[in-house]
Amino acid sequence: MRILVTNDDGIYSPGIAALARAALKFGEVRVVAPDVEQSSMGHAVTHSKPLTCRRSPIEFPGIEAYRVNGTPADCVALGTHLWDHADLVLSGINMGPNLGNSMWHSGTLAAAKQGALLGIKAVALSTPVGKTEPNWEILAPFVEEAISLLLDNPALGLYNVNFPPDPKGVQWTRQSVRLYDGRIVPGTDPMGRKHYWFTVTPLEPAEEGTDRWAVENGFVSITPLRLDLTHEEELKKAVEKNPVESSREVLK
């Protein structure tokens, strides 16, 4: 099995090193990651300048590793092209959670989505970060368990996995969709110039069965996702209320 490992934190992140080590247990691994941090980049792709792919300045024992002057999605597109094909895309381990609404702007998840768009099974993996670095030794067996669990499913898919600092089990979850308080906090830099921080705080508690609830209660959350964003119920209501024939008459 060929496994492409990437992230949005950049080639120097300890999270990608931990993920690459875990992936080695499942097949041949190649690392292709951004040369600088690309957090919250979403599914941006580079189209107005050429991309470069150079050897990693740091060593990944037993693994070919490269850095790209582009986004996480760029890394997957370029990595799968240069490697001829890949059987699995792993993105992470992100230094910070990607739960609930943060999926919309996550560069970690975007890299996995790029793999899914190319017809490759893809998994985004993340963990919260406090004042200290995550304990990779504690997380390692759960990372391997999550990968093994998803590989046992022969169907292609896109999955979002989040690890609490000290997991006590694994749960299948759904995305937590809640309103957030997106506040702009003003401040000044040492030169007296104004700057602003964008902060996000959930306004409501997480529902049981969601990814946020699982991680808050010590469980690894695995959320199956899909590329089709169509709101099926709203589409059905719209069609029933305004059939296609009526819509055509309005357009005339």
Per-residue pLDDT of the chain (252 residues; tens, 9 = 90+): 999 999 999 999 999 999 999 999 999 999 999 999 999 889 999 999 999 999 999 999 999 999 999 999 999 999 999 998 899 999 999 999 999 888 999 999 999 999 999 999 999 999 999 888 999 999 999 999 999 999 998 888 999 999 999 999 999 999 998 766 678 889 999 999 999 988 777 667 788 999 999 999 999 999 999 999 999 999 999 998 887 654 455 445
What SS3 state is found at 158?
Answer: strand
CA dist 22 and 29 (Å) reads: 10
Helix, strand, coil share of the chain (percent; to 5): 30, 30, 40
Which residues, 6 or more positions from 102, have their beta carbon under 8 angstroms from its beta carbon? 200
Q: What is the SS3 assignment for 142?
A: helix
What phi and psi, each to the nearest 5 degrees, are found at residue 106? -70, 125
**Cβ 158 vs Cβ 232: under 8 Å:** no
Residues β-bridged to residue 182: 200
Is 217 buried (19+), middle (13-18) or exposed (0-12) by CB count in 10 A? middle
Instruction: Output the pTM of the full model.
Output: 0.89
Reduced to 3 states, what is the DSSP secondary structure of residue 87?
A: coil
What's the first-to-final CA gap in the chain, in angstroms? 55
- Cα within 13 Å of Cα(135), Cβ side: 8
Residues counted in the chain: 252
CB 192 within 8 A of CB 178: no
